[in-house]
A and B are shown apart, each in its own frame.
Chain A
Amino acid sequence: MIIKNKAIVADDWVVLRLSEQESADNVTVPAGKVIVPLQVWLQQRDALQQRDDIGVWLASAERPEDLKDDVHKLSVIAVDFPKFSDGRGYSIAYNLRARLGYTGELRAIGDVLRDQLFYMQRVGFDAFAPRPDRNIEDALKGLSDFSEVYQTSFNQKLPLFRRVQRKGNPAADMT
């Protein structure tokens, strides 16, 4: 189960993680819907792009620009959070959406916990695979911690000051 578009849904994508013995150029990508590491995609692109059931995941140290020619081909891109405290994935997501124009599913995987979800959806994630030892119903609540935000990011292009009429100081002479 994952959270997608603010609902808990069944999910049949498998995330391929390489073991130490495997390498990106010779690992066999199984049949079915598989999210492969970026390096596997780059090494085996000719074969993999023939399939319509391939997604790609990025590690937090990898660059989204490596997918710049491919974003329109992919229906799922995932970003891995090796630890919840590693915040690089937020900028990766922002760059994938805002700079590279990726419009498909953007999924957070790895150490994904309830209290990060609000921030994650703001930078462009629309799917979340919370850590399996946690209650997914509970994690879903994290998406609605706040009903208003100040600054621009991906899911809210306009900062608050451009969206609403905010009050100035009634006591000040505004002339």
Chain B
Amino acid sequence: MYRYDEYDQQIVNERVEQYRDQVRRRLSGELTEEEFLPLRLQNGLYMQIHGYMLRIAVPYGFISSRQIRMFAHIARKYDRGYGHFTTRQNIQFNWLKLEDTPDILTDLASVEMHAIQTSGNCVRNITSDEYAGVAQDEVVDPRPYAEILRQWSTFHPEFAYLPRKFKIAISGGKEDRAAIYAHDIGLSVTKNAQGEVGFRVLVGGGLGRTPVIGSEICEFVPWQHILTYVESILRIYNQYGRRDNKYKARIKILVKALGIDEFKRQVEADWADLKDGPGTLTAEEVDRVASFFTDPAYETLTDHDSALNEFKADSRSFSNWMLRNVKPHRVPGYAIVVLSLKKPGTVPGDATAEQMEAIADLADRYSFGELRITHQQNLVLADVRQKDLIRLWQEATAYELTAPNIGLLTDIISCPGAEFCTLANARSIPLAKLIAERFESLDFQHDIGEITLNISGCVNACGQHHIGNIGITGVEKKDHDEWYQVSLGGAEGNNSSIGKIIGPSFTFNQVPEVIDRLLQVYLRERMEAERFIDTVRRIGHGPFKEYVYATEFAVEEEEIADKHVVVPAEYSVPYYSPRF
């Protein structure tokens, strides 16, 4: 994976000192909270219900064992012993003190990490395919370009105060695993008929309040020009994106307003001036960065280890795990292993310090010391010898990392929700747990097969509910009651779609029953081997909607004595959130 040179290290070190001074000025009152807000946000620091939350960048989801050990250290020393992996392939710590954050950044810088631009109205951490470099369908490895774009966007002087946040995803496989249609800019690195590398560029996708599938702005931008082309898109957006209403400020609204053809004309008029200029990428730089993403020292092995098959026959748990959590690798004798952070009963995406250390050990022992974080909030060991799978499974099972549910119903994507986030209308994590417990039966899950279930506590869609086959969104009605909308038919990948709401919203305890009814309709209507999403697309929303609302719900909601009471954090934070 990429290693910092002295320039990268110096920039990150100087950032720590800049931030340390900003915190000092905030604590001394030189900076108002309003002035400090965009500064801390550009450093990933949010003020949440319990205190400060720090989102640490994991560039394109790649992380070393040394780095994840540092997360464990941070979890223990500054937080409550755990961290939360997010749909942005990052990690968040939820219980920090403002005064500690500069030291945390110093610790992170010592392992070549930072929290730069993980929030704020700037170019965010770039996300990519968690199987980059090892996927069988890969056309071009996206990682060198993801790193080049990371450096280009880091402290870009012109685009630090955009109308709104800006997310770029890049994928290099035939199948899109980076949700590039749901990003402000989606890049698919590919080859043209002459075998030259370039990018299909999508623009104006995004979730949130107004979900939009990105439009193609250019079918093929040769690799040399990708930085300048992206620069021109950002410049047009920075000048003309709406700033009067934050809900209409994303680039998707501008692209819709102008139309993709006019938007493209403006971008390319700006770009004409940059094309072939000094910002043009050089082969030397691509080669330099690519040298960090060469193959590890693979052994010459063959597929189909016989011991594996024997053990599969003996152990149902192991064979289920092989079926769901182990993916084919492009090198014979190797496999991709997904460690599930979705064991029913646990919080989706959470890992304890102890688990993180165990994961680091597993990476060192079985996967060249590297890991990837997925946007589905799981972890990937990308280069495991097939003959190590049994031992790996046994060791990972001891740390509850082998729930055989990848791509199944309980592999729920969830935002932190109202217990943590000041934006959320409703709780997400307890609902995810309730659903996972209800559908814990593996036989049932395997029978249902591939399905995605996404939960967001509000319309901002951190749980990416629009692209879940089943999407759940917390909506606020009167008096702080929790209500949830359910949508159906969303999907990511090459055939992306935005889910549609099925009807009136539900209470917390009704949601699992709603899901059960949706699944009953699927089981009744599905044709041979048809996935849930395919049945939805074939028969439409009608039958699902009809069945869900046909009968009353027999569940009861617990009585909450006073729903306006928010339990305060156990330590004093200097500046309280408005919820207190």
Contact = CB atoms under 8 A, between A and B. Distances in A.
A160 to B, nearest CB: 6
B11 A150 contact: yes
Contacts, number: 121
Contacts of A172: 291-292, 294
Please report whether the interface of chain A is mostly helix, strand, loop or mixed according to DSSP: loop
B59 to A, nearest CB: 13
B460 interface: no
Contacts of B289: 168
A85 B121 CA distance: 9
A84 B35 contact: yes
B292 A113 contact: no
Given A88-B239, A145-B14, A151-B279, A167 B38 contact: no
Contacts of A151: 151-153, 156, 227, 279
Contacts of A147: 10, 14
Interface residues of B, number: 46
Majority-rule SS of B interface residues: helix
B235 interface: yes
Contacts of B294: 169, 172-173
Given A115-B22, A167-B5, A87 B278 contact: no
B11 A146 contact: yes
A9 to B, nearest CB: 23
Interface stretch (A12-20, A45-53, A68-76, A117-125): A117-125
Contacts of A173: 294
Interface stretch (B158-166, B184-192, B343-351): B158-166
A172 B39 CA distance: 38
Contact of B152 (A88, A138, A150, A157): A150
Interface centre among A84, A86, A118, A166 (most CB of B within 10 A): A166
A6 interface: no
A158 interface: yes
B571 interface: no
A44 interface: no
A120 B155 CA distance: 12
Given A164-B7, A173-B294, A90 B35 contact: no
Question: Counting chain B CB atoms within 10 Å of each CB, which of A87, A91, A122 scores highest?
Answer: A87
B288 A168 contact: yes
By size class, the interface of chain A is 35 or more
Interface string A83-114: 01111101110100011000000000000010
Interface in B1-20: 3, 5, 7, 10-11, 14-15, 18
A169 B161 contact: no
A162 B282 contact: yes
A168 B30 CA distance: 43
Given A115-B22, A119-B157, A146-B14, A168 B291 contact: yes
A153 B121 CA distance: 19
B291 A113 contact: no
A161 B39 CA distance: 28
B292 A123 contact: no
A149 interface: yes
Contact of A160 (B7, B18, B160, B163): B7
A113 B235 CA distance: 22
Given A85-B38, A88-B238, A91-B158, A152 B279 contact: yes
B287 interface: yes
Contacts of B11: 146, 148-150
Contacts of A32: none
A166 B235 CA distance: 28
B275 to A, nearest CB: 13
A161 to B, nearest CB: 4
A132 interface: no
Q: Which 4 A-B pairs have the closest CB atoms?
A: A87-B161, A122-B157, A119-B157, A172-B291
Given A150-B154, A174-B287, 13 more contacts: A86-B161, A90-B158, A92-B239, A94-B158, A145-B18, A150-B155, A151-B156, A161-B284, A162-B282, A166-B5, A167-B5, A168-B291, A174-B291
Interface of B: 3, 5, 7, 10-11, 14-15, 18, 22, 30, 35, 38-39, 121, 151-163, 227, 235, 238-239, 243, 273, 277-279, 281-282, 284-285, 287-289, 291-292, 294
